[in-house]
Structure 1
Amino acid sequence: MSFTRTNSGLSNMALFHGVDMIVFTEGGGISFPFTEVLKGKFNEISVDIKFWSGIFNTYGFDKKVEFRALGSKTATNKICDLLSEGKINNIVVARDSDLDDFTDDKVDSPFILYTKGYSWENDVYHKELVKDQVNSMIFSANLKAEYIDVIEKSYAQFYSQAFRLLKLEILFRVNGVKLITDCNGERFVNGKSLPLINMSQVSALVNENKSKLIRPVSLEGINLDKCPIRFSYGKLKEALALANVNYIVGKLEGVKSLPKDFIISSMIDRYFRYSEQVKDDYYSDIIGNLMAA
């Protein structure tokens, strides 16, 4: 397939499927290479699709779209290049910001949408929404002061460590190494008692990987003046939120079965119910820019 036919094929994909735009997201069970994307391969089911479809609906996107999840963020890199060069039409990519704000890796195009923070988890797992989630799963009229205290203390400890965790991650990233973001978030959350970030696990991980750093180690030239909560590792924030739900509802309230996927889906829906009342200027702007493009 020639380069010209590749561009034409992508641009005509929306028309062929009876929509105005194809929106490629991350997520799903399989990560498809660009050659397979051109053949029409994609994941129909993805939590990223649920999040981004909610963004499009909440902020009034007025065109018909079809969402396709391609797996990893890197699976959309080639499409982003073509969009930034103006070589394809009727295509949108919705992806995690990750730490691109710090490494100057963001691609500038109204057709490339980034999450406000590290990933969608940073929006959804807000402390107050976690309280609401717990309250919806117990059989009391009001959330007990004891339960509110658990969540407050858990998040306070996380907030106190957030800048240190972000700085560590960026330090390794500029040396080409993923640190915390290369791990499952649950590794760093102690959920058997009061859910807290296990900093000893973080220290152990640093010791395992510090030989990979190029000396001298420096963050010179990198602007760290951004919200560490917003750009904390999304899967870590998710793990902390789910640990709070499981600890309070499961251990303290004695509910035996708490399906993870159900809680995640419920939290996303809760976030968008809140967003219908309190719009986020960031998402309003990027959807507005897409409609105007």
Structure 2
Amino acid sequence: MKKALKMEGFRRTRNGISNLFHFYNVDYVVYLEGGKNSFSKDDILESSDNYTSDSEDISFWSKIFDNNINGKKFKYKSIGSKKTLKEIADDLILGQIRNIYIAMDNEFDEILNKRLLHPNILYTHGYSYENDIWNAKTVIDVLKEITSTNVDENYINNGFNRFISDIKLGVFCDAYLFKKNLSFFERKSGILFCIDCSNLDTFPSVKKDVIEDRILLKSLKVNTVRNYAYKNKINTLKHCFGHLLADFCCRIINHYIRIKHNFNTITKDIIYRLAINRFFNEQYPTCAFVDHYKNQFSS
């Protein structure tokens, strides 16, 4: 983890956070999720060193800021925990902290009316940044970048669309349980429990029987879940658990480069960065939700 210089005079105070922009010679400090470590609010107040300076969230959000604000400089800090971000956001709303932005995953906050309202508090359009960047076109664009040749787009589109169709009920269940502070998908480990991806020679796919078994395990009524999802306009691509979606797309990419080019697998950290770059280069200016971000910055 890269660390900033220690600033002894600005430890343990909200005023210290408000004045950090002076030390970084920027206009604002931006606090984000992501990074290898998760810090509490006390950690953030205790030391300006407690953050990660290189993360996928920073790669994504820095491009969002670059596309929506001109003539300003920013220092980005990934602190891992959305809980911590929300606690810092409370101080921002109360006017106890200034000169910062906070950007976080939407998850289901929009649907549950839990978004914190302040001009300097921003949310992703989808469940997380992964939902905003990953789609079949992004997979294809990343493959073109890796292979420097044409890609079998029908093959990718058909497999990706099949995933969206097959995972749909699981996403509905996840949204339904989230309102009860529960979840359908695994969040910490075993994220791909419902994905058949053990053999790179075959296109990864949803284990529909595993989805059905978990519905029974969670004592969920499918009609109730569907009614909730349709009422709240749950969209599979937008609201799928972001890490599941991103990891699935990484599996597609590694499957494709193996069967088509006999390449070795590529780590998902590299694939994530490629996807972020390809999305902003190829899709962001004309994507369906570009106004979501423009409107947040103009509020």
Same fold (TM over 0.5): yes
CA distance in 2, matches of 1:221, 1:197: 20
> 2:100 maps to what in 1?
91
Change (3 A) 1:173 1:226: closer
State whether residues 174 and 185 of structure 2, in contact with CA within 8 Å, keep that contact through their aligned partners in structure 1: yes
Contact 1:91 1:111 in 2 (8 A): yes
Higher mean C-alpha displacement, 9-18 vs 104-113 = 9-18
* Between 181-190 and 11-20, the greater mean CA deviation after superposition: 181-190
1:281 alignment partner in structure 2 = 291
Question: Which aligned pairs between 1:149-188 and structure 2 lie closer than 5 A?
Answer: 149-182=154-187, 183-188=189-194
Q: CA deviation at 1:201?
A: 2.9
Residue type of the alignment partner of 2:120: F
Match of 1:236 among 244, 260, 278: 244
Q: CA RMSD in A?
A: 2.6
Distance 1:107 1:277, change over 3 A: closer
8 Å CA contact 1:185–1:238 kept in 2: the answer is no
How far apart, CA to CA, are the structure 1 residues paired with 2:31 and 2:110?
21
Shift of residue 222, structure 1, vs aligned partner:
9.3
Shift of 1:274: 1.8
Deviation larger for 192-201 or 98-107? 192-201
Provide the C-alpha distance between the structure 2 equivalents of 1:26 and 1:239, rounded to a whole number of angstroms.
18
Matched, 1:115 2:134: no
The residue type equivalent to 1:189 in the other structure is I
The C-alpha deviation readout for 1:136-184, integer Å capped at 9, x for no partner, is 32354x22xxx32331222222222454222201222222212215254
Contact 2:175/2:229 (CA < 8 Å) preserved in 1? no
Instruction: Give the letter for the 2:90 counterpart.
Output: D
Residues 31-63 of structure 1: CA deviation (Å, up to 9, x unaligned)? 111111012111122111111111111223431
Moved more, 181-190 or 34-43: 181-190
Q: Which runs of 5+ in 1 are unaligned?
A: none
Q: Letter of the 1:59 partner, please give it.
A: N
1:78 counterpart (68, 74, 87):
87
Return the offset for 1:267.
0.9
Query: 3-state SS of the aligned residue for 2:252?
Result: helix
Give the superposition deviation at 1:275: 4.3
Alignment of 1:207-246 (within 5 A): 207-208=216-217, 210=218, 223-246=231-254
Partners of 2:70 and 2:191 in 1: how far apart? 33
Contact kept in structure 2, 1:184 and 1:235, CA below 8 Å? no
Q: Are 2:62 and 1:53 aligned? A: yes
In 2, the alpha carbon distance for the partners of 1:164 and 1:92 equals 35
Q: Is the 8 A contact 1:94 1:112 kept in 2?
A: yes
* Contact 2:172 2:234 (C-alpha < 8 Å) held by counterparts: no
Say if 1:270 and 1:226 are closer, same or farther in 2 by CA, change over 3 A. same
Does residue 69 (structure 1) correspond to residue 78 (structure 2)? The answer is yes
Report the counterpart of residue 21 of structure 1 in structure 2.
28
The separation in 2 between residues aligned to 1:137 and 1:16, in whole angstroms, is 39
Q: Deviations over 1:174-225 (max 9, x none)?
A: 22212215254433322331222222333344444x26x8xxx787799422
How far the C-alpha of 1:287 sits from its partner, in A, is: 2.7
- Residues 276 and 232 from structure 1, CA distance in 2 versus in 1: closer, same or farther, beyond 3 angstroms? closer
Cα distance in 1 for residues equivalent to 2:190 and 2:21? 35
Contact kept, 8 Å, 1:22 with 1:67, in 2: the verdict is yes
The match for 2:8 is none
Give the number of the structure with larger relative contact order, counting CA–CA contacts within 8 Å between residues 6 or more apart.
1
The whole-number CA distance in structure 2 between the counterparts of 1:84 and 1:237 is: 32
**Structure 1 counterpart of 2:83, which letter?**
T
Q: Alignment partner for residue 45 of structure 2, among 30, 34, 38?
A: 38
> CA-to-partner distance for each residue in 1:246-285, whole Å, 9 max, x for gaps?
1111233211242322211111111111246536111222
SS in 1 for 2:212: helix
TM-score by length of 2: 0.83
Q: 1:20 to 1:116 in 2, by over 3 A?
A: same
